Amino acid sequence: MENIIIEVKELNTYFDESHILKDVYLDIPRNAVTSLIGPSGCGKSTFLRTLNRMNDVIPTFKKEGTIFLDGKEIYDPDVDVVDLRKRVGMVFQKPNPFPKSIFENVAYGLRVHGNNDKNDLERRVEASLKEAALWDEVKDKLDDSAMGLSGGQQQRLCIARTIAVEPEVILMDEPCSALDPISTTKIEDLIHKLKNEFTIIIVTHNMQQATRVSKYTAFFLHGEIVEKGLTDKIFIEPEDKRTEDYITGRFG
Amino acid sequence: MARNWEEFLVEKVLLLAAISSIIIILLIIGFVIQQGLPAMEQVGPLNFIFGMDWSPSYNIYGVFPMIVGSLGMMTLALIFAVPLSIFGAIFLAEVAPKTMRRILKPTIETLAGIPSVVYGFFGLIVLVPFMRIHFGGSGFSMLTASIILTVMVLPTILSISEDALRSIPLEYKEASLALGATHWQTIKNVIFPAALPGIVTGIILGMGRAIGETMAVIMVAGNTPIIPGSILEPARALTSNIALEMGYALGLHYNALFATGIVLLMMIIVLLVITNYINYKRKVTVGGGYL
């Protein structure tokens, strides 16, 4: 078995009385891309947001079971959620840059973690923008508002912002669903480039995207994982009839 | 054909409604200027605005002490009310549990609906004796008036600021939290700056209320037309000047009160222009159009 970074065991989550995730077991291999697929409302996004504790802000959220990051339960009382989110970054469905300059968007995460050294910030912002394949497009207008960028550029900026704080895991919640095909290709190329350095977990509705970017796939249905394993295996010869129906487009 | 007529009619009625308020404002301003200008001319505009002495019995009209009084009370009230309302708004928008917010917000908004004479009466009966006992003097002072004004402008600024804070898209907040920022860092660096234009609008409206308030100020400020030596001494506001003397003013005195109105209008216009300009300037300098 490969090197596992995140280990999820017997995970159940609830919002009020509604049972969202049911007995989820999933191992996420380090420095690889794992896709989460499944129809809307199947719990993929809830699962993703449980991994960096973004659901904590919802008062009715409740979680049972364990999630280990490098062997450490992330919901333990002694875990600082700020440190956790520094290690587990997130890119959202809708590009959501701050209404600040391009530079400040990338520098933001570094600043809130106490880095205020101007030279160091400049160096890291440049490195992150280069890594996110955005540097050449924005290097002459770093002080312009990020809101003036195109949707695809904004999303790459959000990725740059996330990798600037040097996380180990990047969660991506349908990062291309609001983008045009060309921007989507750029993001997918970027994912390929980033997977050597980061563990990436991506929620997607696009089957082709899952096959293009990910090595592993987990198929969610009604809050349960129906099938998981190597992407090639799942898409070529799925074991479960429901998986086959879904990936061939018979429902969802 | 009938439908077109209806469209036409609705459009015209809406237009009429929209311009009627402008026409009324222009009529009022025109009337005030027409009534006040003779006094301005006779006394001399500079003498009128910068004159230190207001003695209608001797035909001496200088409103500078009242300008100082109005600006002083407004400034003091804003110094108290702005931090209080902004922190209150942040608490309501970001920290308070839902049920608490549901009780607090309408309560605070009710404060804005209480008639100013009630505030003045409260000030007269409760605050003035309190000030007299604890700070000496008569208790009627610029500070006393500012405290009453603080309570009066607080709901305006707080309520509008809270709306502005809550209108910031959840996406900004999530993005910041997901980067490992704490709740307070998120409020300070993302939510508050994004809401600032709305908060400034609230402050401008509060400022307008503070400088235009008449009744409550008359009841607690002492109203002596002299520049106060300290904030614990009585002062008179421009609005009070008009309301106090309108009942018996004749001739030049009568016109001088309208001229006071002109000064008040000009002051409000200048303040509006300055605050709008600051807001506009800030928007432009912080990166390309937004924020």
Distance of CA B224 to the CA centre of its chain: 22
The residues, ordered by sequence, that sit 6+ positions from B67 with a Cβ below 8 Å of its Cβ are B49, B238, B263, B267
CA distances to B82, B98, B184 from B173, in Å: 24, 18, 11
CB contact under 8 A, B179 and A162: yes
Count CA atoms within 13 Å of residue A70 on its CB side. Answer: 8
Handedness of CA B262, B268, B270, B272 (dihedral sign): negative
- Residue A57 contacts B where some CB pair is shorter than 8 Å: yes
In eight-state DSSP terms, residue B56 is G
Q: At what angle do helices B64-90 and B251-285 cross, to 10 degrees?
A: 40
Given this model, what pLDDT does residue B148 score?
Answer: 96
Query: How buried is residue A114: exposed, middle or buried, by Cβ count under 10 Å (0-12/13-18/19+)?
Result: exposed
The residue among A118, A149, A160 whose CA lies nearest residue B179 is A160
Tell me the C-alpha distance between A33 and B39, whole Å.
82
Taking residues A92-115, report their average pLDDT. Answer: 93
Percent of chain A with pLDDT over 90: 83
pLDDT for residue A247: 87
Q: Is any Cβ of chain A less than 8 angstroms from the Cβ of B125?
A: no
- Between A and B, how many CB-CB pairs are < 8 A? 87
Per-residue pLDDT in tens (0 to 9) along chain B, 291 residues: 677 889 999 999 999 999 998 999 999 999 999 999 999 999 999 999 999 999 999 999 999 999 999 999 999 999 999 999 999 999 999 999 989 999 999 999 898 889 999 999 999 999 999 999 999 889 999 999 999 999 999 999 999 999 999 999 899 999 999 999 999 999 999 999 989 888 988 998 899 999 999 999 999 999 999 999 999 999 999 999 999 999 999 999 999 999 999 999 999 989 888 887 877 766 544 433 333
Phi, psi (rounded to 5 degrees) for A11: -80, 125
Instruction: For helices A151-164 and A118-131, give the axis angle rounded to 10 degrees.
Output: 130
| pLDDT tens sequence across A39-60 | 988 899 999 999 999 998 888 9
pLDDT at A2: 65
For the segment A196-222, the average pLDDT, to the nearest whole number, is 93
CA distance B102 to chain A (A): 17
pLDDT score of A41: 85
- Alpha-carbon distance A231 to A95, whole Å? 27
Backbone angles phi, psi at A65, to 5 degrees: 95, -175
Nearest one of A169, A168, A216, A208 to A188, comparing CA atoms: A208
Nearest CA in chain B to A81: B180
Rounded Cα gap, residues B264 and B239, in angstroms? 8
Residue B245 in domain: yes
Across the interface, of B177, B189, B286, the residue whose CB is closest to A85 is B177
Amino acid at A5: I
Q: Does domain A4-98+169-247 have CATH number 3.30.70.380?
A: no
Q: Please indicate, yes or no, if residue B291 is contained in any of the structural domains.
A: no
Task: Judge whether B225 and B218 are in contact, CB under 8 Å.
Answer: no
Q: Which residues of chain A are within 8 Å of residue B190 when distances are taken between CB atoms?
A: 98
In total, chain A counts a number of residues equal to 252
pLDDT of residue B282: 62
Q: What's residue B203's pLDDT? A: 92
B217 domain-assigned: yes
Chosen from B168, B173, B179 to mutate, greatest number of chain A CBs within 10 A: B179
CATH no. for residue B136?
Answer: 1.10.3720.10
- Residues of A within 8 A of B172 (CB-CB) are 96, 98-99
Asked if A92 lies within 8 A of B178 by C-beta distance, the reply is: yes
Tell whether B263 is covered by a domain. Answer: yes
Spell out the SS3 assignment of A61-92: EEEEEEEEECCEECCCCCCCHHHHHHHEEEEC
> How many structural domains comprise chain B?
1
DSSP state of A121: H
A145:B288 CB<8 A? yes
| Nearest in space to B174 (alpha carbons), one of A220, A56, A188 | A56
Helix (H) or strand (E) holding A5: strand A4-15
- Using a CB-CB distance cutoff of 8 angstroms, which residues of chain B are in contact with residue A96? 169, 171-172, 174-175
Residue the block writes with tokens 């004749």: B250
Residue of B nearest to A56 (CA): B177
Question: Residue A244: how many CB atoms within 10 A of its CB?
Answer: 15
pLDDT at residue number B283: 56
Helical residues (DSSP H) of chain A, grouped into ranges: 44-51, 81-87, 102-112, 118-131, 135-138, 151-164, 181-194, 207-213, 231-236, 241-247
Answer whether residue B110 is part of any domain: yes
Q: Does A66 touch chain B (CB under 8 A)?
A: no
Q: Which of residues 159-198 of B touch A (CB under 8 A)?
A: 169, 171-172, 174-182, 185, 189-190, 193-194
Distance from CA of B94 to the nearest CA of A (A): 11
> Is the CB of A155 inside 8 Å of chain B's CB atoms?
no
Q: Is residue B139 part of a domain?
A: yes
A94/B contact by beta carbon, under 8 A: yes
Alpha-carbon Rg for chain A, nearest whole angstrom, is 18
| Orientation angle between helical segments B98-113 and B142-166, nearest 10 degrees | 140
Single-letter code of the amino acid located at B43: V
Give Cα B42 distance to the centre of its chain.
31
B288 inside 8 A of chain A by CB: yes
What integer is the mean pLDDT of A218-223?
93
For A224-236, the pLDDT digits (tens) are 999 999 999 999 9
What pLDDT does residue B3 have? 77
Q: How many CB atoms lie within 10 A of CB A29?
A: 16
Maximum C-alpha span of chain A: 57
Question: Which of A112, A116, A171 to substitute to test the interface with B, most B CBs within 10 Å?
Answer: A112
Q: How many residues does chain B have?
A: 291
Between helix B251-285 and helix B192-212 the angle, nearest 10°, is: 180
The 10 Å Cβ neighbour count of residue A139 is 12
B180, A112: Cβ pair inside 8 Å? Answer: yes
Instruction: Please give the pLDDT value at position A96.
Output: 93
Four-residue CA torsion sign, B269, B46, B217, B258: negative
Domain that holds residue B215: 54-285
CB A154 within 8 A of CB B171: no
**Is the Cβ of B136 closer than 8 Å to some Cβ of chain A?**
no
pLDDT at A231: 94
Distances (CA, A) of A93 to A15, A84, A179, B234: 21, 21, 10, 60
Percent of chain A surpassing pLDDT 70 = 98
**Residue B24 domain-assigned?**
no
Is the Cβ pair B288, A144 closer than 8 Å? yes
Distance CA A28, CA A8 (A): 8
Instruction: Give residue B1's pLDDT.
Output: 60
